[in-house]
Amino acid sequence: MSVSRISRRTIVLISFITATVVANAFAVPVAENYYKFYPSLAHIQLSLTDLQLKNITQYIEVKGSFTVMNPTDYKGFILTIFRGSYEIDKDNITISRGANLPSPPGFITRALDKNVPIAVVMPFNATATGVKNIQVLFVIDLVLSTFLDGFGPVIVTYVCQGTGGPGNCYLATISAQGSFPGVGGRSGGV
């Protein structure tokens, strides 16, 4: 059978099959990445790698070093804002409650690529007290840019604690904040 003898119908069928295979070659990786989105949010890691407490005459100089990392294969997280608050406890009594952390110096928006840590250092001065028996509690929000940006930011919140040196961080909440079009009683039906 020569090319000139192939029917038009067969040529159209072969064209559709080829187009389908090519389209799937592009669509499957995108769909696979999409299905990894929600599980990957819960696996983003925040670590308090070092907490330095230095007693100055009238206050404590605090320097918290954090690392943010995406250990998953999901591509598409961008860390846009690193913000938080802190509380200082001495001998299990809160002596400084809910103060906002300053913006991290030199922080820039960065993609959370697989297993590539992003270091963030938070220096600040805290209330006047001695360094002995102090625990610093942090509530850190990682504001992420994702494909959901049209609806609002995705915020992953952690609670971290430390007494000096490395500390512990725990995932507290994951939320999508913003307005969602089409929700709230206005139907477009007949």
Cα separation, 62 vs 83, in Å, equals 16
**For residues 32-56, average pLDDT:** 85
pLDDT at position 141? 92
- Is residue 145's pLDDT more than 50? yes
Residues found in the chain: 190
Question: Across all residues in the chain, what is the average pLDDT?
Answer: 80
pLDDT at position 179? 57
Q: Which residues of 54-85 are buried (b: 16+ CB within 10 A; e: fewer)?
A: eeeeeebebebbbebbbebebbbbebbebbbe
Cα separation, 129 vs 53, in Å, equals 11
Looking at per-residue pLDDT, the higher value among 103 and 112 belongs to 112
pLDDT at position 65? 92
CATH number for the segment(s) 37-176: 2.60.40
**For residues 50-60, average pLDDT:** 82
Cα separation, 71 vs 113, in Å, equals 8
- Is residue 39's pLDDT more than 70? yes
pLDDT in tens, 115-131: 999 999 888 877 766 66
End-to-end alpha carbon distance in the chain: 56
- Is residue 155's pLDDT more than 70? yes
- Is residue 186's pLDDT more than 50? no
Domain regions of the chain by residue span: 3-35, 37-176
Cβ–Cβ under 8 Å, residues 137 and 167: no
Pairing label, strands 78-90, 45-55 = unpaired
